[in-house]
Chains A and B, each alone.
Chain A
Amino acid sequence: MSDPPDEVLLAAYRKGDSGAFETLLGRYRGPIFNFLLRSARDRGRAEELYQDVWMKVIERCDEFRGDAKFSTWLYSIARNLSIDHQRKMKFRGHASLDAPEPRSGQPAGDRVPNPGPSTEQLASGALMKERIARAVEGLPEEQREVFLLRQLQGLAFREISEVVGVPANTVKSRMRYALERLQHVLGDLEEPHEL
Chain B
Amino acid sequence: MNCDECKEQVFELIEREAADPDAVREILARCPDCRATFDEMKAALAVAERLPIEEPPAEVDEAILRAAGERVPRVVRLKKRRLQAAPWAMAAIAMLALGIGVWTIPREVQLEGDAAPADMKYGEDAVMAEQMLGDEEEALDGRVAVAELEAPKPARAKRRSRSSANEPSAARIAQAPAALPAADTAAAGAGESRSTNEVAAKASTPSKQERDDEDVNTACQRKVDDVERRARADKDFAPTPEEELAIGKCYQALDKVAEARKWLQRAAAHRTTKAPAEKALRELATE
Contact = CB atoms under 8 A, between A and B. Distances in A.
Interface of A: 13-16, 18, 21-22, 25, 29-30, 33-34, 37-38, 43, 47, 50-51, 54-55, 58-63, 84, 88, 92, 128-130, 132-133, 136, 147, 151-152, 157, 172, 175-176, 179-180, 182-183, 186-187, 189-193, 195
A167 to B, nearest CB: 14
A16 B15 CA distance: 39
Contacts of B240: 84, 88
Interface stretch (B70-78, B117-125, B142-150): B70-78
Nearest to B242: A84
Contacts of A13: 68
Interface string B52-75: 111111001101110111011110
A58 B46 contact: no
B44 interface: yes
Contacts of A136: 48, 51
Interface of B: 11-12, 15, 17, 25, 28, 38-57, 60-61, 63-65, 67-69, 71-74, 161, 165-169, 236, 238, 240-242, 272
A70 to B, nearest CB: 15
A25 B67 CA distance: 12
**A-B complex: 7 closest residue pairs judged by Cβ atoms:** A190-B43, A183-B44, A33-B56, A129-B52, A193-B42, A179-B44, A54-B64
A10 to B, nearest CB: 11
23 contacts: A18-B65, A21-B68, A22-B68, A25-B64, A25-B65, A25-B68, A34-B51, A47-B57, A58-B64, A132-B50, A132-B51, A132-B52, A152-B51, A157-B15, A157-B17, A172-B11, A172-B17, A186-B44, A186-B47, A190-B40, A191-B43, A191-B46, A193-B39
A183 B52 contact: no
A47 B43 CA distance: 31
Given A34-B54, A130-B52, 12 more contacts: A16-B73, A18-B65, A25-B61, A30-B53, A30-B56, A47-B57, A50-B56, A133-B51, A151-B51, A152-B53, A183-B41, A193-B39
B69 to A, nearest CB: 5
Nearest to A30: B53
B51 A37 contact: no
B236 A92 contact: yes
Nearest to A87: B272
Contacts of B65: 18, 21-22, 25
Contacts, number: 133
A55 B41 contact: no
A63 B169 CA distance: 11
Given A22-B65, A58-B67, A34 B73 contact: no
A136 B165 CA distance: 35
B64 to A, nearest CB: 4
B11 A183 contact: no
Contacts of B64: 25, 51, 54-55, 58
Contacts of B165: 59-60, 63
A157 B17 CA distance: 10
A58 B236 contact: no
Max chain A C-beta neighbours (<10 A), residue from B25, B38, B54: B54
Nearest to B236: A92
A128 B15 CA distance: 25
A59 B169 contact: yes
A129 B11 CA distance: 24
A28 B53 CA distance: 13
Given A18-B68, A51-B64, A180-B40, A195 B51 contact: no
Contacts of A38: 51
A183 B43 contact: yes
A47 B60 contact: yes
Contacts of A51: 60, 63-64
